[in-house]
């Protein structure tokens, strides 16, 4: 066994072992790159945050079976979550909800509030104009709708809590709600998580459609010090000069201590960030465990 462990270590792979008792850390459960031989790689994102006795699942990846495999490989018990957070409606962050709700149907799931959204929603019935001269059979609800109309969800058993503003959901745990203004994702609503620690905020972004700089700037309004930023920075097709500008801005303008990019950050951005951030860059491929202060 020792020989196998040595061989795996030399080849750049760490022999998988069950993680130690819960501490303050982030475990990467889903991504398209990584070193763990027990984890499947796929496009998507999911992490487990353990901090101060809280256990928070952030996103659920792109495939329920792969998500279930990686959760098992990491030794994670999804029945012991305090709550879950879904960053946005794209399937590479939501498909694993099928597995999560199956094993933990009672878990509270915070998700972006969207009119007619996939997580369920409600609107005052006055959102549409009425016409009293129409015959009853041509009027919505025969002309007598309820005051509030409720709309369905793709996960009917999910206990979703809609969020549309910055909200402290537990002591020291904040959700940052923003709306993308980027071409292709305009008006997409996204939640990021900001966790208070003694060394500053730990920020987890799903895809950063609103912009990673905007997300970090919002976190600094809670605590000016940002210790670490995880997640997808949404730079897979960005130009080198734009990547360099953002990498420098996070370091110099926002004074972030460390970064742990993943998911849609992009290979050129991984490369550029390692050059600019050097030893303050934390590798965060699927299966990685990153300690928190």
For 234-281, how does the pLDDT look when each residue is reduced to its tens digit (9 = 90+)?
999 999 999 999 999 999 999 999 999 999 999 999 999 999 999 999
CA distances from 245 to 52, 67, 223 (A): 34, 34, 23
**Is 201 within a domain?**
yes
Confidence label for 224 from pLDDT (cuts 50, 70 and 90): very high
175 and 33 in a single domain? The answer is: yes
Tens digit of each residue's pLDDT (9 = 90 or more) over 124-156: 999 999 999 999 999 999 999 999 998 889 999
Q: Where are the beta strands (DSSP E) in the chain?
A: 25-30, 46-51, 54-58, 83-85, 108-112, 119-124, 148-153, 159-163, 167-170, 173-179, 189-197, 200-205, 226-232, 258-262, 289-291
The residue with tokens 């860059």 is: 281
DSSP 52: T
101 and 144 in a single domain? The answer is: no
pLDDT of residue 121: 86
Tens digit of each residue's pLDDT (9 = 90 or more) over 166-210: 999 999 999 999 999 988 898 999 999 999 999 999 999 999 999
**Is 14 within a domain?**
no
- Angle at 63 (CA atoms; ends 19, 191), nearest 5 degrees: 80
144 and 256 in a single domain? The answer is: no
236 and 98 in a single domain? The answer is: yes
- pLDDT over 90 at 9, yes or no: no
pLDDT of residue 8: 34
Q: Stretch 13-30: mean pLDDT, rounded? A: 66
Confidence label for 115 from pLDDT (cuts 50, 70 and 90): confident
Q: Stretch 5-29: mean pLDDT, rounded? A: 55
pLDDT of residue 122: 87
Of 106, 136, 153, at which residue does a domain stop? 153
- 289: burial class by Cβ within 10 Å (0-12, 13-18, 19+)? middle
Please count the structural domains in the chain. 2
**Is 7 within a domain?**
no
CATH of the domain at 44: 3.60.15.10
- pLDDT over 50 at 20, yes or no: no
3-state secondary structure 133-145: CCCHHHCHHHHCC
Q: How far apart are alpha carbons 40 and 25 in whole angstroms?
A: 21
CA distances from 83 to 48, 75, 78, 223 (A): 11, 18, 10, 23
pLDDT of residue 180: 93
Domain carrying residue 143: 122-153
pLDDT of residue 6: 38
- Lowest model confidence (mean pLDDT) among 3-12, 104-113, 251-260: 3-12
Sheet of strand 189-197, all strands in order from the earlier edge strand to the far edge: 167-170, 173-179, 189-197, 200-205, 226-232, 258-262
**Is 279 within a domain?**
yes
pLDDT mean across residues, the chain: 92
pLDDT of residue 11: 36
| Between 183 and 284, residue with greater pLDDT | 284
pLDDT of residue 116: 86
Confidence label for 50 from pLDDT (cuts 50, 70 and 90): very high
Return the half-sphere exposure (C-beta side, CA atoms, 13 A cut-off) of residue 230: 33
Cα–Cα nearest to 96, from 177, 50, 40, 30:
30
Share of the chain above pLDDT 70, in %: 92
Q: How far apart are alpha carbons 59 and 93 in whole angstroms?
A: 5
């Amino acid at each position: 066994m020792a020989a196998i462990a040595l061989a795996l270590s030399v080849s750049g792979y760490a022999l998988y072992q069950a993680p130690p008792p819960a501490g303050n850390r982030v475990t990467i459960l889903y991504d398209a790159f990584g070193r763990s031989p027990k984890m499947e790689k796929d496009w998507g994102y999911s992490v487990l945050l353990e901090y101060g006795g809280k256990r928070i699942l952030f996103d659920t990846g792109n495939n329920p079976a792969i998500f279930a495999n990686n959760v098992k490989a990491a030794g994670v018990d999804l029945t012991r979550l305090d709550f879950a957070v879904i960053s946005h409606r794209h399937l590479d962050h939501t498909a694993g909800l099928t597995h999560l709700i199956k094993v933990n149907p009672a878990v509270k799931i915070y998700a972006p509030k969207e009119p007619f959204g996939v997580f369920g929603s409600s609107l005052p019935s006055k959102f549409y104009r009425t016409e009293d001269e129409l015959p009853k059979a041509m009027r919505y609800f025969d002309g007598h709708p309820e005051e509030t109309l409720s709309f369905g969800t793709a996960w009917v058993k999910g206990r979703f809590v809609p969020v549309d503003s910055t909200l402290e959901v537990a002591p020291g745990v904040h959700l940052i709600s923003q709306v993308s203004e980027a071409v292709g994702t305009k008006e997409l609503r996204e939640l990021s998580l900001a966790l208070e620690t003694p060394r500053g905020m730990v920020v987890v972004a799903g895809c950063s459609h609103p912009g990673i700089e905007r997300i970090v700037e919002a976190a600094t309004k809670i605590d000016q010090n940002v210790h670490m930023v995880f997640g997808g920075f949404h730079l897979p097709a960005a130009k080198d000069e734009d990547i360099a500008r953002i990498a420098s801005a996070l370091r110099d303008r926002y004074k972030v201590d460390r970064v742990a990019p993943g998911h849609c950050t992009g290979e050129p951005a991984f490369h550029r960030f390692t050059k600019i951030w050097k030893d303050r860059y934390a590798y965060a491929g699927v299966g990685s465990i990153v300690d928190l202060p």
